[in-house]
Structure 1
Amino acid sequence: MRISRKKRPEKPQIRFKYNEGIRTPRLKIVDDEGNFLGEMDTRDALRMAEEQGKDLIEIVPKGDLHIAKITDYGRFRYQKEKEIKRQKAQQKKIEVKGIRLSSRIGRHDIDLRIRQALKFLEDGDKVKVELMLKGREKGHPDIGREVLNNFVKETGDKTPIKIEQPVSRQGWKFFVIIAPGQNNFQNNQEKAEEQKEDVQGL
């Protein structure tokens, strides 16, 4: 019996020549802070990097003289991978996911739907929550509106959200669209950490 395995996400491919892998005989050199140190022979730059316990990385392999940076290769690679992941996240296509409720939905099913909504929101997608009134329920349309409002409130208590489309009615169907909100405190904390880690300049 064949067992299917979930494909792991591919790690960003980072390719920079560094240390003895650099073939250019002469380089423009910048330090860890992005300060220009001047032009020098590659072997002299390698010696300088070694004395500082760092690596020499060719970061701009273009022009008459390529540009290289004296820094820690592991940290440099980590920062580049993080930049690529951030760019991919920004390019992600936002989808509208659907969740259906009923006016008689039980507590267990409500909790399950909320967890589904949280997962969709965490992935950056919008969520359209629908509820269709049936039979005698049509005589009490306020029930549908109440169930959706409670669902939105409980979801918002667990994660920041914004309401893209308030509870609306189409015939006997009610729906609401919610989207990921912005937790300013968390975002500011993340930005502060990123600024500490980011290598300045080139």
Structure 2
Amino acid sequence: MVISKENLRINDEIRAREVRLTADDGEQLGIMSSRDALALAQEKQLDLVEIAPNAKPPVCRIMDYGKYRYEQQKRDKEARKKQKTFDIKEVKLRPGIEDHDYTVKFKNAVRFLEDGDKVKVTIMFRGCELSHPELGEVLLKRMAEELKDTVVIERAPKLEGRNMIMIVAPKATK
């Protein structure tokens, strides 16, 4: 049962004349006036909560509203915990990078990917290096080729201003 918090009406806020009532244990109590339903809820020291406002007549349930909200917040918090958030880590290279420096940057990218993060590989061009963007593309393709078994290329190498950017993400594990 998914109820949005915005249109949830309780007790005196319910405007319908007649409501279909269910008890807190799920038992159907039938259709009755909202005044009678509210009196029944107050008799049990619980709240009357409109759970399906668009139904004809609207469906209301007798429940402890405070307890329901608490449970809902707990479920929402648990769902947020289980969500995986991706950080984007960046590895910056230059077109004339030496092999050892490239290896260090490559190892950093692999470590980021193993941690479950996306990696943005950036080639930074300075001065007249920009007249040879193919050098940057060769570097990015080399890195993509070396990582091909463990990554998905989310964004192919593309020149943006003075930088060439490629984004890779770890493959989903089953």
In the superposition, the TM-score normalised over structure 1's length comes to 0.44
Give the SS at the match of 2:129: helix
Max radius of gyration: which structure?
2
After TM superposition, what 4+ stretches of structure 1 lie above 3 angstroms from structure 2? Answer: 87-90
Q: Hey, what's the Cα distance between the residues in 2 that align with 1:123 and 1:162?
A: 15
Residue 128 (structure 1) shift = 0.3
Identity %: 33
Q: 1:88 to 1:123 in 2, by over 3 A?
A: farther
Give the SS at the match of 2:141: helix
Aligned residues: 96
After the TM superposition, which residues 126-145 of structure 1 pair with which residues of structure 2 at under 5 Å, given as runs?
Answer: 126-145=118-137
Is 1:108 the counterpart of 2:97 in the alignment?
no
Tell me what 1:119 maps to.
Answer: 111
Q: Hey, what's the Cα distance between the residues in 1 that align with 2:109 and 2:80?
A: 22
Is 1:160 the counterpart of 2:150 in the alignment?
yes
After the TM superposition, which residues 1-202 of structure 1 pair with which residues of structure 2 at under 5 Å, given as runs?
Answer: 90-156=82-148, 159-182=149-172, 187=174
Once the two structures are superposed, residues 89-135 of structure 1 have per-residue CA deviations (whole angstroms, 9 ceiling, x without a partner) of: 95332100011001011111111111111111111110000011112
Tell me what 2:20 maps to.
Answer: none
Tell me if the contact between 1:167 and 1:174 (Cα under 8 Å) persists in the aligned partners. yes
Unaligned runs of 5+ in 2: 1-78
Q: Hey, what's the Cα distance between the residues in 1 that align with 2:123 and 2:129?
A: 11
Q: Hey, what's the Cα distance between the residues in 1 that align with 2:112 and 2:80?
A: 17
Tell me what 1:24 maps to.
Answer: none
Q: 1:88 to 1:109 in 2, by over 3 A?
A: farther
In the superposition, the TM-score normalised over structure 2's length comes to 0.50
Q: Hey, what's the Cα distance between the residues in 1 that align with 2:91 and 2:81?
A: 24
Q: 1:103 to 1:124 in 2, by over 3 A?
A: same
* Higher RCO structure, 1 or 2 (CA under 8 Å, sep 6+): 1
AA in 2 matched with 1:155: L
